[in-house]
Every structure is written in structure tokens, then in C-alpha cells.
Amino acid sequence: MQKTTSKYRAIVAQGWTMMFIIFIAMFVMGLVKSAINEDFSYYQTDPGYQGLAVLTVVMGIYALMPMLVKTFEGRWLGLLSAGLGVFFTMFFIAHQLAHLIEGDKPFSILHLLDIAHHILGVWVVTASVLWVKQTKKDDTVNRETVVN
């Protein structure tokens, strides 16, 4: 029984890494924008202390996912990646839409990072699902080889 290395697994690991980098870049760009304006009061409400705790957890997950994907194997990990990818992508799309609806975050060039994050999220979910399907197919082929 020889396991094949999935290209989808590599895409998933790289996707989580890139989402983490973009996530940090968005946060840093917000800080730089506030520094230029000499006004950090925005951060009192968004993210605020509770939001900062959420951001810390998100950063931890973003940092751990590529390592988990490259270290462990199994359909469970592909399903976890897909589930977390859907959750984070939908969460950040909803967060961005809430800002746009409230009118407190006008559309600007900085949204390019948001859009890139959303695209990467969809990409990670898609690659995770394909990875799970490939793993299932490989397991079926390996079981048939053992039986014959």
C-alpha cells in the first residue's frame, strides 16, 4: 500500500499560509492607515478587546493549519480544513459586508486584500474537498489491491 502525495494537500497548505499572510497584511495596513491619520480610536470598537481575542485565535489557527496539513494525513484533516475554510471565508465576507452596509468602511484599494483573502478561502475549500475525494479514492484503490 503506497500512499500518493496529493497536489491538493500541498495547495491547501500553501493556501492557509497565504491567507495568514494576507490576514496579517490587512491588519498592518489598518494600523499604518491609522498611524498616517494619527487616529487609532477606530480600534476601540473594531476590533475592540473581544475582537482582538477572536483575531488572536484566528491567527493561531491560520499559523497551525499549514503545519497540520503537511504533518498529518487523513480525510478528517481535509474535512477540518474545508469546514474551517468555509467558516472563515463566510465570517470575513459577512464582516466586510457589515462594514459596507454601515458605511463606515468605504470601498478602497485596501479591499483588494479582502477580496484576495476571500478568493483564497474559496480556493482552500475547493482544494480541501478535492483532497478528501482523492484520499477516499486512494483508500478504495489500496483496499482493492490488498484484497486481490
Q: Is residue 81 part of a domain?
A: yes
Write out the residue range of the structural domain in which residue 118 sits: 7-142
Give the DSSP per-residue string, 69-106.
Answer: HHH--SHHHHHHHHHHHHHHHHHHHHHHHHHHHHTSS-
Q: Is residue 50 part of a domain?
A: yes
Q: Is residue 2 part of a domain?
A: no
pLDDT in tens, the chain (148 residues): 345 568 999 999 999 999 999 999 998 998 998 999 999 988 888 888 998 999 999 999 999 999 999 999 889 999 999 999 999 999 999 988 888 888 876 667 778 999 999 999 999 999 999 999 998 876 665 555 555 5
pLDDT value, residue 44: 86
Q: What is the pTM of this model?
A: 0.84
Q: Is residue 148 part of a domain?
A: no
Work out how many domains the chain is built from and give that number: 1
Which triple of cell numbers denotes residue 131? 483532497
Contact predicate 8/134, CB 8 Å? yes
Q: Is residue 1 part of a domain?
A: no
pLDDT value, residue 30: 87
pLDDT value, residue 2: 46
Give the DSSP per-residue string, 30-52.
Answer: HHHHHHHHT--GGGGTTTHHHHH
Q: Is residue 33 part of a domain?
A: yes
Q: Is residue 93 part of a domain?
A: yes
